A and B are shown apart, each in its own frame.
Chain A
Amino acid sequence: MFLIVVGALTAVGFASVYIARQDVISTASLTYAGFFFALYLAAHLVARYTVPFADPYLLPIAGLLTAIGLTEIYRLNPDDAFKQGIWIVAAVALFALALLLLRYDYRRLETYKYLFGLTAIALLLLPILPVLGLTVNGARLWVHVGSLRFQPGELAKIMLIIFLAGYMREKREVLAQGRPKDWGPLLVIWVLAMLVLLETRDLGGGLLYFGIFLAMLYVATGRIAYVAAGAGLFIIGSIGVWRITPHVQERVTIWIHPWTQHKVFCPLSGRMELRQDCQSFQLVKSLYSIAHGEYAGTGLGKGTFTTLDGHPIIPSLNTDFIYSALAQELGLIGAAALLLVYMIFVLRGMRIALLAQDGFSKLLAAGLTFGFALQTFIIVGGILRLIPLTGITLPFVSYGGSSVVANFLLLAGLLLVSNRANREMLR
């Protein structure tokens, strides 16, 4: 029955788009739609076979978000859409593999929690290595093998959540008592992760992991004091980092004063310029893009993203800034609907955490879901100037292979937990 829901949602996500864009792009678009639908059907069948009791909404929602993302990427740059398509295939394959391998008992993962924790650190360290590492837009977050680029931080996020869930399940009573001995390994791994993030200048990542950590700690111990202490530490730490790191100072300045009346020194050109023409260029143009959408948007395919001579107005539009592209073309109605879809995903995820029977499952589902919501908040909130802007992907929608793979693994995790919880309830 949900196959129909799924089909309808995906078809709506696609059909409307391609009709609007028909005059510009030929039948290739329909091939994309067909291909995507087939892929989605395959994922659905695997899920039906491996996790028959799992939550029926999550996969369609993920499919819908992926379709929206792919469509917008296609509209912005058809070549990128092709690459993204390949990554989606890989992601769905890994998703299927994860479901098949762990369909009997995913809780085996708990046994390897330290392995996951250390692997996560290792993954985070990878970009620092001289041969593999690659710096993009000032942050050293990438590894490349040949022409293939990958952002290991995305996978590290999932692994850290597994580690945290495992460790906190085991030690949650003693953690609540607050003995230093039990905190040791947790803090060691955590401090390591934060240091690596600072070193690679991944501020968005740092904020995300810290938020997940606090949320899971709260779920495990139930002590709001820990959250308060953590948040306090985070604020003190942030102020410290802000004072010593010019990169962070710049981000904050851009956030508070994106527009200037008078010319200020522009480190990019070395001249005096208005800040909106220099450091805050990207943020300000992105706000113009969102504002241009107004209520109803320009319509998909009708938005303005290039100058009259065809140069892109907003850099990295299809990765970090895809939300401002969507907000312009879909308008307030569309953007709000998109955010509501994210909210439904979060609601279903939290419902899974509530229904799960054991601590590990609860922590895992809650951690994955909260991470998903927080990541969405960090990037969209940054674009909307609610918080300082840090580069991070919008789950399922942004262009980026590592992001898509990680998000499908996250989805697999939620489906596995949900399958077990629902099966036990029926029993």
Chain B
Amino acid sequence: MNRQVSHIGVAALVLLAALIVGTTYWQAWANAGLADRQDNEIRLVAQFSIKRGKIYAADGRTLLATNVKKKIGGQTLYFRRYPTGPLFADVVGYSTQSRNRTGLERSYNDFLTGSNANLDTVFRSTLDKLRGATVTGNDLVLTIRPGLQALSRRLLQGKCGAVVAMEPSTGRVLAMATNPTYNPNLIERHFAQATRTTEPCGAPLLNRATAGKYQPGSTFKMVTASAALDTGRFTPSSPFYDPGYCLEYGKQVRNAGNPEAPETFGSVDLSTGFEHSINSVFCNVGKTLGAATVLRYAERYGFYSLPPLETPENERVASGLYDHGVLFSPKHPDTQVDPGRLAFGQERLQVTPLQMAMIAATIANHGITMRPHLIERILSPGGKTVTHSKPERLGRPIKRQTADELTRMMELVVEGGTGTAAQIPGIRVAGKTGTAETGRANINTTWFAAFAPADAPKIAIAVVVENQAGGFGGTIAAPIAKQVMEALLR
């Protein structure tokens, strides 16, 4: 009988060994896959037992996200609290149980929960776990200046639109405000209230600065002018004759399409055409260059790819031509795209404020695009810097000379052209207005893209204000840009 006993003994041990294998599979092999599942309540709740890292504005003092400790059923849980309320909502986002996460709370969840792969962090959180201490996440310090952000939001009050301001030489985002927005503190329990808005445009959860798609109007002339100068086909003094319209496919496209310019200018040069935003001039530039060349320069500025930023991908959209709501990349641009309308920013162009700010910043930075970023530093709970973001060069869309010529042309816009409302006494400002018709009578999307001081730029900015009845870029958006730039420079 002993032989049989040994056999069933082995069988019993094999069964138990299979259990060890099974446990290993779930805990060491399949665990990551399970952790990502939407219905994994345990994982979701467990993250609330982590003391998430705090989020600070650029001054390192203004607290944007912190924790409230609550004891529930013997467990200590940490809930998010946003002391500045709606002010930074679009950038910081929220972290809740019922609505999950958005903004930096989502894309930097690994750092905020201390589960990133940084060796120091791994060591510390493992130690915390073993000691039974609360796991504490890393703190984030943003590049956004709280004063500038508050001013930007105040200037947008009662309007729908966005302000994006950057430091041209580094790509630091100095302000990123949008209106309407929401109070992240209300998301968990009062979602309906949080998403209600009195503004007529609605959609308060949309980050208009990075995911709002607008017709660029004449601000796109910065791209067309870049192509014109950079290809060497034109110079700022290239002569044009403006009859008040431009012939396209045998039809007249009237300057009246641009409400910022008078009907007819006669003999002008490219620089004057830019200064007064003359559509017929740019229409002819577009026809000469061809749509493919203009679009190639747009791509070099970052069109057709998601604008680089630390926020989640679904909170950013690419700029470019859109056909029925879908990004449209023409295979044969010279036949599929109207080069004249494209050149002055109509056709089917849709752009984000962030993209326009990047163009202004590139021109300001002598033709070099710096990667825009929101996070300045990541700190360990002890205050030690884990990572410090270094300015990163994204590319050089235009030559230095092109950038300098464009700067001069943009200065003229503010000195005596369509953008005089952006003048700051004692400081040279370079800018470009834009007014795009929405299709509804007399309702315009107004733009202003600018940087200052023109000789040593410290700030580049893009302002968009939607649905302005009878308003122009030069009258609605330019004064907002002026005040934000002035606040930083003074």
Contact A386 B46 (CB under 8 A): no
Select B41's contact among A288, A346, A359, beta carbons within 8 Å: A288
Contacting chain A: which of B126-134, B138-146, B469-477? B126-134
Which residue of chain A has the shortest Cβ distance to B25 in the bound complex?
A384
Is A5 an interface residue when CB atoms closer than 8 A count as contact?
no
Contact B16 A292 (CB under 8 A): no
Given contacts A298-B129, A308-B97, contact A353 B5 (CB under 8 A): yes
Given contacts A336-B20, A376-B19, A386-B18, contact A276 B39 (CB under 8 A): yes
Contact A350 B23 (CB under 8 A): no
Is B75 an interface residue when CB atoms closer than 8 A count as contact?
yes
Is B15 an interface residue when CB atoms closer than 8 A count as contact?
yes
Chain A residues within 8 Å of B154, by CB = none
Select B8's contact among A24, A219, A285, A377, beta carbons within 8 Å: A219
Contact A291 B26 (CB under 8 A): yes
Which residue of chain A has the shortest Cβ distance to B126 in the bound complex?
A296
Chain A residues within 8 Å of B1, by CB = 219-220, 222, 359, 362-363
Contact B27 A339 (CB under 8 A): no
Chain B residues within 8 Å of A377, by CB = 15-16, 18-19
Which residue of chain A has the shortest Cβ distance to B48 in the bound complex?
A308
Chain B residues within 8 Å of A354, by CB = 2, 5-6, 9
Within 8 A of A (CB), among B1-48: 1-9, 11-13, 15-20, 22-28, 30-31, 34-35, 37, 39-43, 45-46, 48
The main secondary structure of chain B at its interface with chain A is: helix
Contact A307 B20 (CB under 8 A): no
- In the assembled complex, the Cα of A368 lies from the Cα of B319 at a distance in Å of 73
Write the A378-391 contact mask toward B (1 if CB under 8 angstroms, else 0). Answer: 00110011100000
- In the assembled complex, the Cα of A291 lies from the Cα of B37 at a distance in Å of 12
Is B250 an interface residue when CB atoms closer than 8 A count as contact?
no
Is A400 an interface residue when CB atoms closer than 8 A count as contact?
no
Is A182 an interface residue when CB atoms closer than 8 A count as contact?
no
- In the assembled complex, the Cα of A347 lies from the Cα of B11 at a distance in Å of 11
Q: How many residues of B contact A (CB 8 A)?
A: 49
- In the assembled complex, the Cα of A340 lies from the Cα of B24 at a distance in Å of 13
Select B129's contact among A299, A305, A335, A384, beta carbons within 8 Å: A299
- In the assembled complex, the Cα of A370 lies from the Cα of B9 at a distance in Å of 7
In the complex, which of the residues B7, B20, B48 has the most CB atoms of chain A within 10 Å of its own CB atom?
Answer: B20
Which residue of chain B has the shortest Cβ distance to A284 in the bound complex?
B39
Which residue of chain A has the shortest Cβ distance to B96 in the bound complex?
A308
Chain B residues within 8 Å of A362, by CB = 1-2, 5
Chain B nearest CB, measured from A155 CB (Å): 22
Which residue of chain A has the shortest Cβ distance to B16 in the bound complex?
A343
- In the assembled complex, the Cα of A340 lies from the Cα of B45 at a distance in Å of 31
In the complex, which of the residues B42, B72, B126 has the most CB atoms of chain A within 10 Å of its own CB atom?
Answer: B42
Select B7's contact among A218, A289, A331, A381, beta carbons within 8 Å: A218
Chain A nearest CB, measured from B359 CB (Å): 43
- In the assembled complex, the Cα of A111 lies from the Cα of B11 at a distance in Å of 30
Contact B45 A304 (CB under 8 A): yes
Is A73 an interface residue when CB atoms closer than 8 A count as contact?
no
Which residue of chain A has the shortest Cβ distance to B71 in the bound complex?
A24
Chain A nearest CB, measured from B162 CB (Å): 34
Contact B12 A294 (CB under 8 A): no
Is A180 an interface residue when CB atoms closer than 8 A count as contact?
no
- In the assembled complex, the Cα of A343 lies from the Cα of B237 at a distance in Å of 90
Select A292's contact among B4, B46, B74, beta carbons within 8 Å: B46
Given contacts A218-B8, A304-B46, A306-B75, contact A384 B41 (CB under 8 A): no
Write the B137-165 contact mask toward A (1 if CB under 8 angstroms, else 0). Answer: 00000000000000000000000000000
Is A342 an interface residue when CB atoms closer than 8 A count as contact?
yes
Chain A residues within 8 Å of B129, by CB = 296, 298-299, 302
In the complex, which of the residues B8, B37, B39 has the most CB atoms of chain A within 10 Å of its own CB atom?
Answer: B8
Chain B nearest CB, measured from A201 CB (Å): 24
Footprint of A on B, CB under 8 Å? 1-9, 11-13, 15-20, 22-28, 30-31, 34-35, 37, 39-43, 45-46, 48-49, 72-75, 77, 97, 126, 129-130, 132
7 A-B pairs with the lowest CB-CB distances in the bound complex, closest first: A350-B9, A384-B22, A373-B12, A291-B31, A310-B73, A377-B15, A291-B34
What are 29 of the A-B contact pairs (CB < 8 Å)? A218-B4, A219-B1, A220-B1, A284-B39, A287-B34, A288-B43, A291-B30, A292-B42, A295-B28, A302-B129, A306-B45, A308-B48, A308-B72, A313-B41, A313-B42, A313-B45, A327-B23, A335-B20, A336-B23, A346-B12, A346-B16, A347-B13, A354-B5, A370-B12, A373-B15, A373-B16, A374-B15, A377-B19, A385-B22
Footprint of B on A, CB under 8 Å? 20, 24-25, 215, 218-220, 222, 274, 276-277, 284-285, 287-296, 298-299, 301-302, 304-310, 313, 327-328, 331-332, 335-336, 339-340, 342-343, 346-347, 350, 353-354, 359, 362-363, 366, 369-370, 373-374, 376-377, 380-381, 384-386
